[in-house]
Amino acid sequence: MSDHSVDKAFSGSIPAVYERYLVPLLFQPYADDLVNRMKTNPPSHVLEVAAGTGVVTRAMAKALPASTQIIATDLNPGMIEQATSVDIARPVERRQADAMQLPFEAGTFDTVVCQFGVMFFPDKPKAHAETLRVLKPGGRFLFNVWDSMETNPIAAVITSALAQMFPADPPQFLPRTPFGYYDRARLAQDLAAGGFTAAPEILTVPARSRAASAQDVAIAYCQGTPLRAEIETRDPSKLQAATDAAAAAVAARFGNGAIDVPMQAVVVVAKK
């Protein structure tokens, strides 16, 4: 299928499934990692883009000084609504905003942070230019992206299982978008094209992906991401069957009990 518009479809029941299953499976360890990198030199004004259901927002609210002003934005109203339903250590400002056209004045923030969102930006240099514009001189842009699927075996197993289920038109959301933007040279080139003149710091950060069961993993991927739309576009009656096939493949590879599997991300720090 050539229509990739589903890649940004975080709507319907996806935000709630995302928060319940994906956050503990994938996102919490890397949220803590990003915030730990901010704690050594706490910012006074932080902008989070593509904040999702708020895992990084909550980590910042808990770990950063009370004086740090936090604005968390996302393109999808459903994700913002889900984020507001989860308890947080202190109030933060939440706004709907497009990373391609940020509604803030130049030089407003000393840190911009983005967890696993850059891969979804349709024009990454343009988005980086917007980040650069709203940063103060000397400000930092911290973001992470997933490394290759070879270093994230759960995603590879699920992609393979769904390809067997839909051999004529295998869903390609995972390799195309979340796990398709890891080349270090391209990351640096896109930042430079957006106006960042200093060479970024690019780090490989391994972690562990944990869940209570293979079924939880399959629900996370098949029903808590835009992969759901790819499945339903092919056959709306097969969402549960696809989820079960993914769960069986994960169990066959990693066992029937609790899941504890390596995962790997790339963390980028760019300075204005």
Q: Delimit the domains of the chain by residue range.
A: 5-271
235-253 tens-digit pLDDT: 999 999 999 999 999 999 9
Share above pLDDT 70 across residues of the chain, in percent, rounded to a whole number:
96
Nearest to 134 by CA among 113, 149, 164, 152: 113
pTM: 0.94
Sequential DSSP letters for 154-178: HHHHHHHHHHHHSTTS---HHHHTT
How much is the average pLDDT of 159-169? Answer: 97
5-271: CATH topology: Rossmann fold (3.40.50)
Q: Is the pLDDT reported for residue 14 higher than 90?
A: no
pLDDT score of 2 more than 50 = no
Question: How confident is the model over 218-230, as a mean pLDDT?
Answer: 95
